[in-house]
Structure 1
Amino acid sequence: MAEVNSSSGHKLGQLVGDWFEEYFVCPLLKEVAESLNLYADSRFNSRACRGHKIIWEYLDSNEVDYDAVLEINGTNAQKGIPVAFIECFWRRGSRHSKDKARDDSGKLMPMRDTYPSARFLGIIAAGDFTAPARELVMSRGIDLFYIPKAKIVESFNYCGLTIDYDDKSTEYEKDKIARSFIEGFSAKEKRSEVATTLINLVGKNEIENYITRVRARLSSSPQEIRIILRQQSIPIRFESTQKVALFLNDPDLSMRNPAESFVYEISYSDGSEFSKEVTSMSELKELHKQISTLEKHMIGDNKPPTWSYR
């Protein structure tokens, strides 16, 4: 009898998770990126401007790696302006669902306070992810694209592959399923076949709705921008990004005091807010540059949302 791998269940889950990220999530985000003329970064891209992980800095110079990031003006040679951060995962069982929701949403939320252009934070989840866990994610203002476990399992079953087993299964039984799965899932054509089956089960309308949600979030325009000196209580108010740019090109002399710090605040048409304190005029200009670039980009001609598996 062949040697039994005591971690067969974990290995099987890892293989399904990697497939979900590469064959479903990445094509979906590439479609979003093409629709909105953005760069979609994932660990399946090779970029000269980073290592293996997709690492971004947030408040206090901390660093976190993400599953995917959408950028304006990003290329293989250089990072662009981040507009969306996305985490994805597959969960076979519901155990610790709320912990997973808390961890991933907590990982995403700092980017909202770091980059004013990071208007979309999302999780693409597949598997047994409980209702309380899903509610926690959405309560934090994070978009959730959720695919129930039954549809993932059905996609594999339809293509002659088994990925699920009873919780009381022995290690030998799980090892047998894992070995059979690995043997039948090695060909790229089989992986694509399962992905196409999943797309049909989820429905192309749901996928296009996701693309529309990303577009809507990024397209929400600033309605009021406020620049506040930390030492004064009355903000300087602007009604457009253009008026802010004119002011920053020739600010009031009191704004040039290097001892001052500033708060940059934005109210958006969708009701959301952004606020960040900076300690220099150059940082203030960089914040506004990111907002202006996003606004101009979204006003430009972008392709309508479509979906086709690639």
Structure 2
Amino acid sequence: MRTLKLALLGFGNAGRAFAKILEDKRPAIRETMGWDILVTGITTGSRGSLYAAEGLDLQKAWSELEEKGHFEQSNRAYSTMTSLELVETGEYDVIVEMTPLNIFTGEPASEHLRKAMERKKHAVTANKGPIAWHYKELKALAEKQGVQFYYETTVMDGTPIFNLKDETLRFCQVTEVSGILNTTTNFVLEELAKGKAYEDVLQEGKKLGFVEADPSMDIEGWDAAAKVTALLNVLMEADITPDQVERTGIEHITIEDIKAAEENGKVIKLLCQGTLEAGQVKASVQPTLVEKGSLLAAVEGTSSVVQITTDLMGKLTIIEHDPDLVQTGYGVFSDVLRVVKNFV
């Protein structure tokens, strides 16, 4: 039985969802793949850290966090280790980067990945920042160091977009990418169309968990810009950053705009798009009128969609219907399984 050791940077909702899937599937992984997967370290920003080279008790870890709000100092594995210290000194085979997003720099998540790969460790990230800001550099470093680098969770939770391109669309050139990638703006636009006041919609969304305490990154289109940048960097080798996306959010959309669209048989969606023009990839995020009854118009609530146009397979559409944390956790899990499958 071979052993793969993971170090988890961040243990929020997605991290705990991943840990629960891993713990549930460990017996099947042992039986079918001949590998045991252990977690040796977990770091958080303010709730403490855990480290044990022989492997942590994951159920105890998530139970402490969910019941107490922090790791207990009485835990034998309790540590004051920071994320960077774990990256640089910990014992692990794969770093799993799940720290909070810095949408304007991609740091310190990118530095965590760099330092891990410099140690010849494999890397998985659920953080879109590194893919939006430093993808070309990180990909080159992974190739130089001979390590694997995966990031399926960064755009549409566990939906296999990057895996699809890698495994089943080989030698296809992607010429265009478009989609609805931000669920907050989808929710807000739909609720405004029901005649609700903007502030009331935001408050309702916060209560339901659809809207962040500070929704500006979503409303102003920054989250969508980071997601479409990540897609274009991987699928079209765009080598762009979110600040190069032509970006318009929904903060100036009024009920009058929505009513006018409806009178013309249309709805407003925040559409992400990337096209290849004269050898250059052009990216945009902007409110767009789409026909009622069209596929894009039918994407509602927390669902999202991406359309990929290729030279050999035409246009492919992938819809993720009302995801929850299980899908996000599975995205990380699927990347870890790819490391296991290709481990040398």
Q: Which TM-score applies when normalising by structure 1?
A: 0.35
Larger helix percent: 1
User: Which has the higher Rg, Structure 1 or Structure 2?
Assistant: 1
